[in-house]
Amino acid sequence: MRKAVVFLEYAGKSVIDYISAFGDGCLFLLRVLFSALTPPYQLSLFIRQMYAIGFQSISVIALVGGFTGAVLAVQGVYTLSKFGATAYTGSAIALSLIRELGPVLTALMVNGRAGSAMTAELGIMKISEQVDALRAMAVDPIHHLMVPRILAGLISVPLLTAIFILVGIGGGYAVAVWNLGLSSGTFLSVMKQSVDSVDIFSGFSKSLVFGFCVSWISCYKGWTCGFGAVGVNRATTSAVVTSSVVILVLDYFLSSVLTTVLMP
């Protein structure tokens, strides 16, 4: 009986902590959004974050995208050959990348590469009192540090998703046509017939939401980082894990809603 009471107390405290953290994160987001609408608008900081989050992630996104398309081609030909439908391999690759794998894997890769770096950088700035120095110079740290990062994440992830999808389709085409012997014309024509604007809208809507969540959670974890190396370590780990879980959970709900709303 005593163990059950202790477990319930621990579970209740954990739930309260999660709800409190979510509310605190929402208040932090409101501050960022309000600050984003307030001048001055510092384009140089935004471009710097676009370079760090977007441009420096292109190589890893292209690498993962190419091999993801290649794997989809191999598995697609193997699976569809059982039904005599290998002609639809291009359609399966394109729809899988555009609607699901492109947005999700891009967001996860950006989260692991740029999101963790963002949290660690902000955490180190906090524990080394650089944030306090900005306040002493009458500079709003929310406006100076958080707004450029969140806006850059919001824009970079959809652009990286487009690169991921294009390279992935190219990798799938190369393996399916040059290695597995499928017809190039059939691959491209079936893919063109199967993909429409609804699929593209669905995929890029997800990428916008994922990019926003990754940058928001990473900035919030860095902003609320504890003191010392242990605090930065915990904040970075928490940011990566939380963002990854949020991406996968949101992917299900967004897929359900978009499929229901956009289905003809």
Using the predicted structure, report yes or no on whether residue 165 has a pLDDT greater than 90.
yes
Compute the distance between CA of residue 245 and CA of residue 255 in angstroms, rounded to an integer: 16
- Read off the pLDDT of each residue in 151-171 and give the average, rounded to a whole number: 92
Residue 223 to residue 33: CA distance in whole angstroms: 15
Torsion angles phi and psi, residue 182, rounded to 5: -75, 160
Average pLDDT over residues 20-48: 81
Cβ pair 110, 246 in contact under 8 A: no
- Long-range CB contacts (< 8 A, 24+ apart) of 8-11? none
- And the tokens for 122? 């902000």
Query: CA–CA separation, 260 vs 64, rounded Å?
Result: 30
Per-residue pLDDT reduced to its tens digit, 177-213: 888 778 788 778 888 888 888 888 888 899 999 999 9
The answer on pLDDT for 159 being more than 80 is yes
Q: Which of 103-107, 121-125, 139-143, 229-233 has the highest mean pLDDT?
A: 103-107
Q: Compute the distance between CA of residue 159 and CA of residue 154 in angstroms, rounded to an integer.
A: 9
Which residue ranges make up each domain of the chain?
43-262
Amino acid at 1: M
Give the angle subtended at the CA of 188 by the CAs of 195 and 100, to the nearest 5°.
40
- The answer to whether 214 and 113 are in contact (CB under 8 A) is no
- Tell me the average pLDDT across 120-126: 87
Contact criterion met (CB below 8 Å) for 205 and 242? no
Question: What is the model's pTM?
Answer: 0.89
CA distances, 136 to each of 31, 124, 132, 133 (Å)? 19, 18, 6, 5
CA–CA separation, 170 and 165 (whole Å)? 8
CA distance 108 to 63: 14
Asked if the peptide bond before residue 40 counts as cis, ω within 30 degrees of 0, the response is: yes
Quickly count: other Cβ atoms within 10 Å of residue 117's Cβ.
16
